[in-house]
Amino acid sequence: MSIAPKTPKELVEFVQKEGIQVIDLRFMDFPGIWQHVSIPASSFDEAFFETGLGFDGSSIRGWQAINESDMLMRPAPETAFVDPFFEAKTLVLSCTIHDPVTGQDYSRDPRNIAKKAEAYLKASGIGDIAYLGPEAEFFIFDDVRFDQTQNQGFYYLDSVEGRWNMGREEFPNLGYKVRNKEGYFPVPPTDQHQDIRSEMMLTLEAMGIPMEMQHHEVATGGQSEIGMRFAPLVQMADNLLKYKYVVKNVARKHGKTATFMPKPLFGDNGSGMHVHLSIWKDNKNLFAGDGYAGMSQTAMYAIGGILKHAPALLAITNPTTNSYRRLVPGYEAPVNLAYSRRNRSASVRIPMSHTSEKSRRFEFRCPDPSCNPYLAFSAILMAAIDGIFNKIDPGQPLDKDIYDLPPEELAKVPHTPGSLEKALEALEKDHAFLLKGDVFTKDVIETWIDYKMTHEVKPMDLRPHPYEFVMYYDI
């Protein structure tokens, strides 16, 4: 697979040289699903990067009203890659969204918000670049079925390595099922997805994304993780979209299905997306110092900002009702808002496996991969900047196993919201830090809260849960 160049002129030459037939234009909708439209390569020239392509913004979730539906997408040349899955040779470009009348950036375009977050960091004088490193986990299943009607509701998932299949007739059943909470690092034949994950990793690498590792994760039923190298905020969000795209399509190629749903299985670990953050200025890591765990005072203030705003942050970093099935005690989920070195039960952890100045960072462990990465990464950075500006003290570290604390001590530790509704309520009360620099506008916050309440929280509240029949049918 050829790696595409990154300037308009070079891309036009690349399309001609490589025999590209189709240009696929993509953008992220408001909730966080990648959308696309394709044009023939014959329509692609340097002018296209300015003229862009018009489309109906009223058909995109959370965007325009029908009376002001016309929108314009313009491709970002630095995002180009050759698609590894389409039959016709296709060049993919991510786009930013603009008002066709004024030409201004569209305020609800997630990629534009992320670009504004990067610009705000520079304008603040605090730093000139933020590096993020997300660890997005996912499940690979063999079969998935679900439905919800007026008189029934169900879901069904299956995996050849699922612990629940120990006694299934498989003609023959060869065993090697992954025990609950024991899926971390076993070799094949217990790990039955090595080749698929390697193909995912190598496909991403061929697309120009630096990779670090791939492995089976803790849960049974095919939980996995592939590690990407850190990158600047907007680029990392671009990369995460490619990551999810490749994972899903390689799985489909092998007759399997992949999901980034945070908690698809009962009784085992869910899928998180721990996000590593460091801020740099003049090629120097501002988080490196001689304080706690080798961190600077700037880093401590950034942690203070994350912990203070965490309940509101979760409305963006953990934006589904299912997210809060994962954020419960007992499954390595960081439900307690504290920080620590090494301790993985804290919501903010300072990794100690790399101790060089360049590698100093902290890890926010609450987020999950159901989020819109442009919005989530921007919100995390804005909370960190607010902590630095206002010198927010994160308090004392919690270098104990939080889950083993006595009740009276645990009661003193703040915890994450218990539902999406509670997180949205926190965001409604605490979002001024997101409005700085016009990064998130008031309209974006209001639209986000309204969309989530109307389309996700309330519809979930209205429907009976299957387990309610187990508990209450004979009442």
Q: Return the active site residues.
A: 56, 135, 137, 217, 225, 274, 344, 363, 365
The label of the residue with tokens 């698809």 reads 264
137 vs 272: CA distance, rounded Å: 6
HEC string of the chain?
A: CCCCCCCHHHHHHHHHHHCCCEEEEEEECCCCCEEEEEEEHHHCCCCHHHHCEEEEHHHCCCCCCHHHCEEEEEECHHHCEECCCCCCCEEEEEEEEECCCCCCECCCCHHHHHHHHHHHHHHHCCCCEEEEEEEEEEEEECEEEEEECCCCEEEEEECCCCHHHCCCCCCCCCCCCCCCCCCCCCCCCCCCCHHHHHHHHHHHHHCCCCEEEEEECCCCCCEEEEEECCEEHHHHHHHHHHHHHHHHHHHHHCCCEEECCCCCCCCCCCCCEEEEEEEEECCEECCECCCHHHECHHHHHHHHHHHHHHHHHHHHHCCCCCHHHHCCCCCCCCCECCEEECCCCCCEEECCCCCCHHHCCEEECCCCCCCCHHHHHHHHHHHHHHHHHCCCCCCCCCCCCHHHCCHHHHCCCCECCCCHHHHHHHHHHCCHHHHHHHCCCHHHHHHHHHHHHHHHHHHHHHCCCHHHHHHHCCC
237-238-239 Cα angle (round to 5): 90
The label of the residue with tokens 């997630």 reads 110
CB 382 within 8 Å of CB 439: yes
What residue type is assigned to position 466 of the chain? Answer: P
